[in-house]
Structure 1
Amino acid sequence: MAHADTLRDRLPELYKEGPALARLLDVMALPLEEMDQQMRDIQRSHFFNQCVSLEDASKLGAILDIPVEDWQSFRDYRLWTHSLRDARLKAGAVTREGIRLFVHQYLEGFQRLKAVKLSPPATEFSSTASDTVPSMIENPPVYRYMRGPGSNGLAPLDTFKVTNNGLDATPIDLILTAFGSDAPEYAPMLMNVTTGNAIVFLDAIPTGKRLWIYSERNEDDSLSLHAELEGQTVTDKLRFIEGLVPGDADTAVPAAGDPRPLMLERGTNEFWFMPLAHYDVPGLDRALLALADLSLKQGVWDETRFDHSLFIQQAALTLQMLWVETAPASFRVELPAQSMLNQTGDLEDSLADRDRLQSSLEEALRRLSAAGVESSVRLRSHKEVQGARERLARVLPMTIREQGSVGSDDLPDSGGAFGITDFDNSIFR
């Protein structure tokens, strides 16, 4: 031991030798050696990369306001702190480069620490979604869906509100489905009272049929409107009305040119529905011969005005609305993570590590983001999307027979349908 040798060097030459003296010096030097070890531990605890316990590391991390998370081990916390520190001090935290630096450094360290290969390094961010490189999408699209008001469908003169929480005005797609004994619905008109624009379909929607009204973006960034009635193109029967004033029939004039989609302005938009009478379009018992105003309602006892009420008409349509909002004050980081290579071969631990990586990145980006900015992380997976609209056709009468060695079987029990199934081959539905 070093301290024993030091003590021996201080003795006269006559007393330096002998086993008894050596044992005595070892006993005397032991407390000094222990004190040196404690001093080295204290010294190491003051350096983040040299400390050996999570407790010491957390005390140093507290200087940067980086506490230990419940799920972090000592090595996890060291990587976490280094990545957050560099993002804040080297690149300004809330900047795009600061976020990229954190994602790159933490992702690489996490994969080394867990012995997995999950995503390529974030040496640069793509501004659009990619299956090959990490990306950061500012103001990502948010897909919204809403059904029409009420549980019984959309009745004439119904009004309802739709809120667009996005940054910009956005086109809205519609699906109208006719149902019930009051269908078909004739010449349905849907108006955005907030903008004064309306869409009219100059034909009937038969019972059980669906009318899709949707927009597509062209190469020049303009929007075109399309309509399909159960797969049949009916765009030519759409009319776009601009500057419509409820109660003033002179304003119900289709705009020139191709029909345009209804737009949702930022904030709350009020919509109004009615079957609109139009020359050469059927619907005498359904459509209103005069353009109503917003105060005209279906008569309800003790709720509507006598001189602004109509006899009630049942709903014959259901309405579904779809639109895409541009999320304000938000961004999303996407990492290509379609496959994962694990060197240990432990599937459950690897899947848990994958989830842990996503939650860690989400928590870190929440801390690095500017005040009021929402962040999210998405690990992209393998997927294939093929848009399709399901259309089923029922052919009646339906005949099902099985040919066998002893003859043909009759139609099996399939419920009772008047005029279709036999009495002996019918059951209660």
Structure 2
Amino acid sequence: MQIFKVGGAVRDRLLGKPVTDIDWVVVGASTEEMLAQGYRPVGADFPVFLHPKSGEEYALARTERKSGRGYGGFTFHASPEVTLEEDLIRRDLTINAMAEDNEQNLTDPYHGQRDLEARILRHVSPAFAEDPLRVLRVARFAARYAGLGFTVAPETLELMRQLSESGELEALTAERSWKEISRALMEDQPQVFIQVLRDCGALKVLMPEVDALFGVPQPEAHHPEIDTGLHTLSVLEQSALHKQPLTVRWACLLHDLGKGLTPEEEWPRHIAHEHTGLKLIKAVNERFKAPKDCQELALLVGKYHTHSHRALELKASTLLELLQSFDVYRRPQRFEEFIAACEMDARGRKGLEQRSYPQADYLRGAAKAAREVAVQPLLEKGFKGPELGEALKRERLKALKIYKDAAPA
């Protein structure tokens, strides 16, 4: 019985990056031997055990064979006869197919260390094309390691393209897809994830609404980068540079979907794209079963982002309507995330990345003015029920008019 550290822990140690999760593979052992040594079984599909003291996961070396569609369409075989090389060959990328023993002796049958040094993401074997989830995983690794100069090997990109065209991507469950997408969006360069998906044809299958933005022009006066797809990538890039949470990054990705529906004869203008895009944002939200907070913010940013950009020009009544839509009185954090997404949108324009966004503080001030309207005096005047709501609205509108008049021009 031999135990090896495998996958990401080996890869990240060789890259000099912090090692967080450790995967262990056990070669030459049976289920009975593992149980006899106190390991606790947890794997439903294949033998995985928890270490009796550390609680870390240890998997028996195994092979796998394609038996159906999608991520789950595999049968696994684990036995003491399965070698370490046989276990490693079923992995996705060469840089994830290395192992080391407790003395850090490296086992690298598929030249992962060479690809690490060359900064290449390359598939281990043709079996890569059997698992559609790997398209998303490779794009995610590209986003994670783009800052180190990693690129996807042309032959791997070609396999990803074949997978995208095969219909296999449609077999992915919403849950598995969202897990990869959400992790990728939180990487250092999430725009690379979207770009790689587009390069291999997967974006057209998974998010045709986002793919449709590429090649759609915008007015150069407001968008020097012109192309709406490139603008979306830039907004996503800004959201990562400014360490925004997942909710904001998801909203940044989807905020301009309506522009993909503008008839060509109306280009480069996109009148009412905020409203036409809502059905598309809703469709993408539902396709991946995004968490409720991500869904809500994406829809609100899609609908109101131009309100934010024009905040200083808005009438007090429009400002109040905006604040009411966000329920800033009970959910102030959601409005903060909206402002953040809109600022990323403004910064995601070629040459304007460093431009200030005074609308942010203006909107925060408006929200503060509306929140500070006291309810008690209205109660003391005898207002209650719907009448109280209307009175409160009137007082908030007064407060916003005063705020607007006092704001510097």
Does TM, scored on the shorter chain, surpass 0.5? no
- Tell me which of the two structures has the higher relative contact order, counting C-alpha pairs closer than 8 angstroms and 6 or more residues apart: 1
Relative to the length of structure 2, the TM-score reads 0.28
Structure number, greater radius of gyration: 1
Higher strand share: 1
Higher helix share: 2
Relative to the length of structure 1, the TM-score reads 0.27
